Structure 1
Amino acid sequence: MLLSDGYQSYLEFITYERMLSEKTVASYQRAINQFLSYLKKQNIINCDQVSVFWVRRYLAEMHYSKLKSRSIAQKISSLRNWFQFLAQKNIVPANPFNGIKTPKLEKHLPKTLEVDEINVLLDKMPSDDFLSCRDKTIMELFYSSGIRLSELQAVQFNDLSISDSSIRVTGKGSKTRIVPIGSKALKLIKKWLTFRKSYTDEDETALFITESGLPLKHRSIQSRIAEWGIKLGATSRLHPHKFRHSCASHFLESSSDLRAVQELLGHADLSTTQIYTHLDFQHLARVYDSAHPRAKKKDE
């Protein structure tokens, strides 16, 4: 079978059977297309021509082009999954990516805001017109519930439960979960709904809309939050994930309940959530340095 045929059948599989998100499918497409372009230069067009030798050559080329370790790891993962699919369909005799080690990734702790800074920013942010009320509600909801940008953008009016102080979101892998809404966020949502009513009709189901009555897009949410960060004098650039990380970190600092944080964030694996334990330790270290008498004592 031609590589191009194996590519098309795999795209159909991950799109219609696995039902991966558009963003994830696009990521797979980029990785596979780049590998196909490389193989074409080597005059390799059939699935069974791809050997471990060519995989290692491609890996070396990516290293030589100074791609970041995370990018290389993502591409190798995408290609390994593709060839695993081909092997299961007996299109290739074996997966040439098995045994290929991905580069070690540097662990970057997610950036967060201090509790006091978030309180100051949100408390002084206005909410007396359509745009400011919508944007403040979004920011409060990000911080209150720790949801992802994609999850918030996709929230529908019917996903909201005022009586239960909760909202239903659809996360990675099309998995839904119910997350709580804090009192401040809930109060703003109620206020936002009065503005929303005047700018859209009953046919529009998106919870957050533009002044034209259309669903608010990802980029608009990102840019609006960044603009508010500048206006409000934030010490660093504001973006949706910073609120999510701050929510998780502050929740863990107060509760020490890692499982609860995992459920709140919608992490499939607890190891993903455990990165916040490092943030918690950093907080403890700062408190120690500022409060412990032996930590404050200077060397004589």
Structure 2
Amino acid sequence: MNLKEASRRFLLHCQSAVTLSEYTLRAYRSDLADCVAFVGPRKSIASVQAEQLRAYIFDLRSVRELKESTIKRRLATIKLLVKWALHEGRLKVNPFDALNEKIRLPRRLPRALDRDDSRRLRRAVDPAAAGTDFDRMRRSVAVQLMLETGIRVGELVSIACQDVSLADKVIVIHGKGNRQRLVYLYKPALLRAISRYIARRSSIVTRHEELFLSAVGAPLTTAGVRRELRELAVSAGLARHVTPHMLRHTCATSWLESGLDIRFVQKLLGHHSISTTEIYTHVSDQGLRAALERVKQGRFR
């Protein structure tokens, strides 16, 4: 079986047997297409050796000068293809066993909004500012939900109407790896905003089950959320480039600074490992240091 055919069958397996999200499937498809183009689409998957993989890594790193995070992701996808091929009996030897390549990522602190920027953004998404325009109301609720619950942008656009329980004040979130969790609508203002939005959404003609729609009934996309958030941040007077993941970081940092146990934060964010959540303790420490500086300068409020 050549690489092109193996990639096609692997993606079909991911789509049917593993039921990955369309976002993940697109990423897999792109990563595999890049590798296949480099190694050669007609090359047998059984003949791929560590030398070809090493040459591919050299091309990604030294010729194209891609980020280490991109290289790590592409190799992770190829490893999944190889694992599938081994299971299917298409491979007898794993070429990664002889590779001995380490991809070291710089440990970066997550970027969160500071208190001033967070306050400006919250004012901009105030329900009163949205008025009666449906798209502005939907944008306001979506941003509020990300700010208050820390959900990922992919999780936001995947919420279906049946996932929301206003009576129980919870939303079922379908996270990475098909893992489900609950997020809680504990702030009355957010609960009221979602309730009003759902009432307005019922008047939209659509065949889609997603909670967040445009005024013409089309489901919201991750790209649409990013674009609207950028526009909202500019209108709110924020100088920095704001992304949905920054809202997730802002929420997580706020929880830890308020004294919420890190295990609870891990569960609320849907992190598989506590080590992923622990990085926010460093951000929280930075916030503490900044507060102490304000005390030192007599500016503490």
Query: What does residue range 247-266 of structure 1 map to in structure 2 within 5 Å?
Result: 247-266=251-270
Equivalent residue number for residue 222 of structure 1: 226
Structure 2: state its 5+ residue gaps: none
- Conserved 8 A contact 1:69-1:104: yes
SS at match of 1:291: helix
1:18 aligns with 2:18: yes
Equivalent residue number for residue 68 of structure 2: 69
Note closer, same or farther for the CA distance 1:92–1:259 as it changes in structure 2 (3 Å cut). same
Pick the aligned partner of 2:189 from 159, 168, 184: 184
1:32 aligns with 2:37: no
Q: Distance in 2 between matches of 1:120 and 1:60?
A: 45
Q: Distance in 2 between matches of 1:184 and 1:234?
A: 23
Q: Could you list the per-position Cα deviations for residues 144-200 of structure 1 after superposition, in whole angstroms to 9, with x for gaps in the alignment?
A: 111111111121222111112111111112222111012221121122233323333
Note closer, same or farther for the CA distance 1:27–1:134 as it changes in structure 2 (3 Å cut). closer
- Conserved 8 A contact 2:153-2:222: yes
Q: Distance in 2 between matches of 1:185 and 1:238?
A: 21
- Conserved 8 A contact 2:230-2:243: yes
Equivalent residue number for residue 108 of structure 2: 108
Equivalent residue number for residue 89 of structure 2: 90
SS at match of 2:130: coil
TM score, norm. by length of structure 2: 0.88
Task: Give the C-alpha shift of residue 247 in structure 1.
Answer: 0.6
Query: What does residue range 132-281 of structure 1 map to in structure 2 within 5 Å?
Result: 132-181=136-185, 182-200=187-205, 204-281=208-285
Note closer, same or farther for the CA distance 1:160–1:276 as it changes in structure 2 (3 Å cut). same
Q: Distance in 2 between matches of 1:172 and 1:48?
A: 31
- Conserved 8 A contact 2:124-2:232: no
- Conserved 8 A contact 1:139-1:225: yes
Q: Distance in 2 between matches of 1:172 and 1:289?
A: 39
- Conserved 8 A contact 1:72-1:102: no
Residue correspondences, number:
291
Equivalent residue number for residue 81 of structure 1: 80
1:127 aligns with 2:130: yes
Q: Distance in 2 between matches of 1:74 and 1:156?
A: 29
1:290 aligns with 2:288: no
Deviates more, 1:50-59 or 1:69-78: 50-59
- Structure 1 runs of 4+ aligned residues shifted over 6 Å read none
Pair member with larger Rg: 1
